[in-house]
Amino acid sequence: MTTTKEWPDAVIKQITDSIAYNAPTRTLSTLLPFDSIKFGKDCIELHNSIIKTLYKDEKMKLGDRIVGASTATHTILKNQGLAGDLKIISFLTAEGKNATGNATANKLKESVGDYVKKYYSGSGVSIFGVSALDGYHSMLLTYRLTSDKKSEFMLIDQGPATSLISGKVIFSTSQALDDALSEYVRGRKDKRTGGNYEYPANISLYKIYPKASK
Amino acid sequence: MNIIGCAKCILTHGLLATGWIIFFKLFATYSPINIWAEIDSLWLSPSGENLATNLVGELAFHFEATSGEKRVMYTAPYYPDGLDGTTQTKRLSKTIDTASWQKTETETLTTTYSDKQFKYVVYQDSNGIYMRIFNL
């Protein structure tokens, strides 16, 4: 079950401080003429690292993928009561039919932004783990109301493909967030799995809860 | 040539070389094909399931995704205590036991190989194609 449990506002600074050097380092390392060497964390490593920062537990065991396996970060957190259910939002094709895979996925069937808002209590920060294409990409999403009561979504990953050198992108509306996620999936329509199948066309997300105070 | 002239020459050629490296790297990054892997592949001879050796006999893992993306790897990170532990870099030629090497599992995001001692997980995700080595 997903509920309205939020984090204190201070986590935004904690998160942005913890990712400050990752995307620039990652971007610089793409300029090196060696494929084997990459500095900075990749998407799931960064996702897990932020969660460890949030819980102030560097030794916390998390998954090697965000969703879709018993060893996934979502499953591990959910088993400890630290995450809600996985919400899977599928895609429509350009013709408005259900998309079966990433080759024909065009637009989200439901709004990710509206789902996030639905489980927001009205104060503090909501934090969600977000997966694109069944774990192909892992991101972290925060949602809060600014001091003038406007929506602010922040999508965080390792950069540079999706969030350039800063590692984060801010959206002020659900529509803008949904459009960016749809664009991400549309831009990867030629990607295939190891078995030469299409990736399942979806965005899945789960809410990450603070530990209950003792 | 005096010392200043020599230093200028080294600096000029160094900057030119760096410029070319950055140009090729940017070209390779934004090109639909992996230029480095294509060049690397020219010197490889197959020697097992996704394994190959180069001209000097160095063993490489050679992976071509169905989208056409290629990777040739000579080293990979090793996680002795699982993903959340410390990392070491292992040279594949010193690690892989070719006699017991086999593909063991193909999933959406990963293809797993193993030999008698290690598990080699090849990921295909937003970070590209890369390998992580774990204990069996």
Q: How far is CA A65 from CA A74, A76, A153, B124, in A?
A: 9, 11, 23, 11
pLDDT at position A86: 96
Contact across the interface for A193 and B124, Cβ inside 8 Å: yes
Shortest Cα distance from B51 to chain A (angstroms)? 16
Residue range A143-164: mean pLDDT, rounded: 88
Judged against a pLDDT cut of 80, whether residue A160 lies above it is answered with no
| pLDDT over 70 at A131, yes or no | yes
Test the B interface: residue of A64, A70, A102 with most B CBs within 10 Å: A64
Instruction: List pLDDT tens digits, range B75-121.
Output: 999 999 887 778 899 999 999 999 999 999 888 888 999 999 999 99
More confident residue, A26 or A148: A148
pLDDT in tens, A69-126: 888 999 999 999 999 999 999 999 999 999 989 999 999 999 999 999 999 999 999 9
DSSP characters for B53-106? Answer: E-TT--EEEEEE-TTS-EEEESEEEEETT-TTS--EEEEHHHH--TTT-EEEEE
What's the whole-number average pLDDT of chain B?
82
Tell me the C-alpha distance between A121 and A138, whole Å: 25
State the pTM of this model.
Answer: 0.82
The contacts of residue A69 (CB under 8 Å, 6+ apart) are: A63, A75
Higher pLDDT, A28 or B26: A28
Query: H-helix or E-strand containing A18?
Result: helix A11-19
In this predicted structure, the answer to whether residue A214 has a pLDDT above a threshold of 60 is no
State which amino acid sits at residue A87. Answer: K
Write out residues 69-88 of B within 8 Å (CB-CB) of A. Answer: 71-76, 82-84
pLDDT value, residue A2: 72
Choose, out of B27, B54, B124, B126, the residue to mutate when testing the contact with A (most A CBs < 10 Å).
B126
CA distance A149 to chain B (A): 34
Which comes out higher in pLDDT, residue A132 or A164? Answer: A132
C-alpha A8/C-alpha B94 separation (Å) is 49
Alpha carbon distance B106, B89 (integer Å): 24
Chain A residues with CB-CB distance to B under 8 A?
30-36, 38, 42-45, 48, 59-65, 68, 132, 134-138, 157-158, 161-162, 190-197, 199-200
Q: Do A143 and A15 contact (CB within 8 A), yes or no?
A: no
Residues 14-43 on B with a CB inside 8 Å of A are 21-22, 24-26, 28-29, 34, 36-37
Alpha-carbon span A158 to A76, nearest angstrom: 22
Mean pLDDT of chain A: 90
* C-alpha to C-alpha distances, A47 to A74, A183, B128, nearest whole angstrom: 11, 21, 17
pLDDT of residue A195: 75
pLDDT at A139 over 70: yes
Chain A residues touching B36 at Cβ < 8 A: 33-35
Q: Poorest-confidence range of A19-28, A29-38, A151-160?
A: A29-38
Lowest mean pLDDT, pick from A125-129, A158-162, A181-185: A158-162
B71, β-bridge pairs: B63
pLDDT at A129 over 90: yes
pLDDT one-digit tens code per residue, A57-69: 988 999 989 998 8
- The yes-or-no verdict on residue A155 having pLDDT over 80 is yes
Q: Do B102 and B114 contact (CB within 8 A), yes or no? A: yes
Q: How far apart are the first and last CA of chain B?
A: 60
Residue that is written with structure tokens 């094909």 in the block: B33
B92: left (phi over 0), alpha (psi -120 to 50) or beta: alpha
Mean pLDDT of B7-35: 72
- Residue A165 CA, chain-centre distance (Å), reads 17
Q: Which amino acid is at B59?
A: L
Sort out which chain B residues have CB atoms less than 8 A from A35's CB and list them: 34, 36-37, 71-73, 128
Res B96: pLDDT: 94
> What is the reported pLDDT for B49?
85
> What pLDDT, on a 0 to 100 scale, did the predictor assign at position B38?
67
> Alpha-carbon distance A166 to A27, whole Å?
10
